[in-house]
Chain A
Amino acid sequence: MKRVICPRCGGVCGVPEEARKRLLCPGCKAPLTENSTPQNSISRVWALLIAAAILYVPANLLPIFDMELLGRPSSDTILGGIADLFGSGMWFVGAIVFLASIVIPLLKILGLGFLLISTSRLGSVQARLASTRLYRAIESIGPWSMIDVFVVSLTISLVQFGRLASFSPGPGAACFAMVVILTILAARSFDPHTLWAIPEEN
């Protein structure tokens, strides 16, 4: 048996594992559709989120750029690139990259984790409204962490100076791109219905 929360009355109904077609809630006779099985979506979001959190480490530790300037090889991590920008006085661009590459992925991972943990403990309407707003914010900032991936692609397409300089993406770039994709998928898999599924206390 599987526990399913009725979309209309919020009652918990037992449902056989196989039969999922057109089952009605015993309380209010509302159809129990597939998207009223939040348990499923929650474990998928957890899986995607944990994978993203694990990849976040190599994404920041490994170089995203391998460069060779005038015969001297060097490499650049995400944080190193940001430090360079700040060091040469480009505060504005440095802040954009810092927000997009460090803050946004971290906010998404922590925010979704918080939503997943708190979803079963939400009582008041205010707490649920705040969580719904947090979820919408997480969903809409997602693509902005792609900035660094685009910077890598533009840089290597522009800098091909033969022996003077060459750029190529380091292993951190692919890890970072995976973090972006996984967090976007996790946010999409999260069903905001779970924030409202349990009836509120008064």
Chain B
Amino acid sequence: MDAIRCEVCGATQSLPSLEPRRRALCFRCKSEVARGPTLSLDAPLALCLAALIFWALANSIPFITLEYGGIIQTNRVFTGVTALWMDHQYFLSVLVGMTSIAIPGLQLSLACGLMLALRRGVSGGRLRPLSRLLAFIAPGSMPGVYLVGAFVAAVKLSQLATLTPGPGLYCFGAFALLWVIGLGSLDLEGVIEDFRPRRSGR
């Protein structure tokens, strides 16, 4: 039994030791107060690495191609950011660039680095600044929202011109999906507290 204080309502309560993958809810306010220990980081690490690969691909190959009266225009994910910048919309340009590309990429790289370090046996306490930084930037990461935005823009523009999805769009979709699965269920702040790498040869 462990005594723990709920961060939301402040109620102190004792918890039985949790099985892996189980969550405990506060008896008073029903917020999550604890999670079972993480035994292996293999699956989230693989998902985050795969998401990072698709992130890089999505940024470097054509996203959507538009055809209008013989003019063919291809854009990449980054074209929106540069177009806004050229239009002197610096605030919007930085905002779009950060939330759709930069922060998700930084978030995935940090998470991968952190998990690799934990597997190497670096103690959780030394990684705490990293996990705090991750929690701080997390709300600025919106790849799923960007994908829906691309869908809405494509539907609107299809009245005007012919649109063809490029391979970058599929890569971006794969990246957004893996991002959700890989990071969504991962509680890195909890993981660095209780993850113990298995010693080799045991």
Contacts and interface: CB of A to CB of B under 8 A. Distances in A.
Interface of A: 7-8, 10, 81, 85, 88, 90, 93, 96-97, 100, 125, 128-129, 132, 136, 142-144, 146-162, 164-165, 168-169, 173-174, 177, 181, 184, 188, 192-193, 195-197
A195 B9 contact: yes
Contacts of B7: 193
Q: Which 10 A-B pairs have the closest CB atoms?
A: A150-B149, A196-B9, A153-B80, A154-B153, A157-B79, A157-B80, A157-B83, A7-B10, A151-B153, A153-B96
B81 A85 contact: no
A103 B102 CA distance: 28
A157 B145 CA distance: 18
Interface residues of B, number: 51
B153 A173 contact: no
Contact of B28 (A88, A159, A164, A196): A196
A160 B8 contact: no
Nearest to A153: B80
A35 B114 CA distance: 27
Interface in B1-60: 5, 7-12, 28-31
Nearest to B163: A158
B73 interface: yes
Contacts of B150: 150, 154
Nearest to A66: B87
Nearest to B159: A88
Contacts of B181: none
B5 to A, nearest CB: 7
B186 interface: no
Interface of B: 5, 7-12, 28-31, 64, 66, 68-69, 71, 73, 75, 79-84, 87, 89, 91-93, 95-96, 99-100, 139, 142, 145-146, 148-157, 159-161, 163
A192 B8 contact: yes
A93 B93 CA distance: 24
Given A93-B156, A143-B139, 19 more contacts: A10-B10, A88-B159, A93-B152, A128-B29, A129-B30, A132-B8, A132-B31, A146-B99, A147-B149, A149-B95, A151-B156, A153-B96, A155-B157, A159-B73, A161-B69, A161-B71, A174-B89, A188-B139, A193-B8
A196 B93 CA distance: 40
B59 to A, nearest CB: 14
B139 A150 contact: no
Contact of A157 (B75, B99, B146, B148): B75
Contacts of A184: 139
Contacts of A153: 80-81, 83-84, 92-93, 96, 149
A175 B30 CA distance: 36
Contacts of B152: 93, 96-97, 147, 151
Given A188-B139, A196-B28, A169 B153 contact: no
Contact of A143 (B12, B82, B145): B145
A59 B9 CA distance: 36
B92 A132 contact: no
A161 B81 contact: no
A104 B109 CA distance: 31
A174 B154 CA distance: 21
